[in-house]
Structure 1
């Protein structure tokens, strides 16, 4: 041992725990294991991948996780892609049993229960915020939902909106937090040109709170924009429709559609998953005045995209190797998270790669959420 080496080792071996946790939050599974194995002090300062709970440091670094909800028991399973680790959490909350996830904004879930019940739920803080029951005549028959903001101190101006896609334009179910009665808004075909080609399939609407508008994608590639009055749900919202239809060949190839807000560029990203081997196409939909601009996206550069039905978002890459990747709510061999590499056009997990997604498992009730530091004290 060289002179002074023992002193140097003492310095880095006794590095502050907060610093170690900050560094480890940027590492992916295998890298984290190696980092933790450097010395005894580092190993004791950082939890094992399979020992952490949802109140651990992992949930405090604002890393996305996939939540799977088990309707019969009310339990949830958290999957952290950065660590390729899962944990099932017994929530011990009887009111969650028989519920289902509708959509998510950050770490707040909009949930329904039975024919009429609707409420917000935060799985990290275990806070439930009830909404008035849905109207008896319509029950819980609206398949697509969104809301305008997380349920924090400013949530009094939050709108909750559901869509029923059987007609044109879609019916709208809405309430503003603090109101006591839901409102149903129906629209006449003739008022909007009676264009039967512009009907919609269930997917995740994108709410732009600053403008109080919602983007919805038509199944043929057209875009609908719903404008909501910022002061009242009594006044009927208005629809505008933009864009040309996709080719018949493209329409027939689509297996699933996901949408996410494109914060840096405005508009939305539309992710098409095709029947043919599960190939992935991404398009940017952006309004330029009254004209819709569509652009094919071939790279996410230094960002990672997390997509699921009811909750999708684009984030700066938080770990080396995750840039230009898409995380779907899919698993290989039941417990290994899968991402799609836009550069290689392949699906990957830590021990798997393939050009198609046919042998991957997609949980029925799973959605990506973003733990928010405002709800936690470190």
Structure 2
């Protein structure tokens, strides 16, 4: 085996052992460990910020985009929010052991579907160091061991956060191997994780979750021999219907695009009904707020013209494409052709139009009269999130505790035989 394969084989074998312990830990033991981890993060704030300053300096020198730098940047408020997120996970309902349903067969055999941990989860992510804490907390609470492989741009931040998390977990009896950080930035380690299906006799990863750009996700999907929970582009739309309240529409559009441009819930395309009384008022608000606007036919001749590629672009920056559409039908058609099945919103007072939009737009999250920036596990009451899944199987939308479990059938008999 290569050095990377040997490393990942060792990590997965140790993770499998830890997963067996985690699977049977009582809820209060997991919660106590996570609260200790949150306290450790707070105590380690100076070390975490110093590590992040090193990463930020390197990333700035390397010419990372403003959006990437925003994802990477930590300050006292973000460290506090990270710790609060870990503590919040400790207070969530434990899905492990929950009975999904129960049936009694005619012969008296009782069958239950019961939630159980997935086992060993690999997280491959870029830029966002908070994922180190979020993913570890969610995995542990759901009874899973986790192997974390962050991007090279956040290596020092990830190491500091991981060290604090593990110190808190271990102090409360959780195995140190419950949350492991891949110690190298060698890209070969990613390849080794993607092929860690147990076929070489070493421990296996049961699920890979990629969090990053299109290149990372494409590589994971192309190379993985391990099941993947994918998060594709956030090409998100806000459709302003002709019935929309103009003030509400303006507030939602500005927030959806500009609250944080580098998050996956940011609006990238604004669709405006031809029946809306003043489309340029929305565009002018965006421009005044510092957004570059690229417009489709029928809109201002003084603004840059959108090209075909714009409708399929996740800018992750203060850039938006804007198109006029023919009512809710036009909006649904546009999203079907160009959307990424992530998050799409309608602003309307017409309930019939909104109901059609919510029913027919095939995205993981659809919203009525609310900003797309609510596409976040914390805002959904899930505590932290491990990512937003845009596929159709296993989990969809913000993936938190329940999304990190599977189930098994448990039968209770009184001596039944098939005969």
How does the TM-score come out when normalised to structure 1?
0.24
Higher strand share: 1
Higher helix share: 2
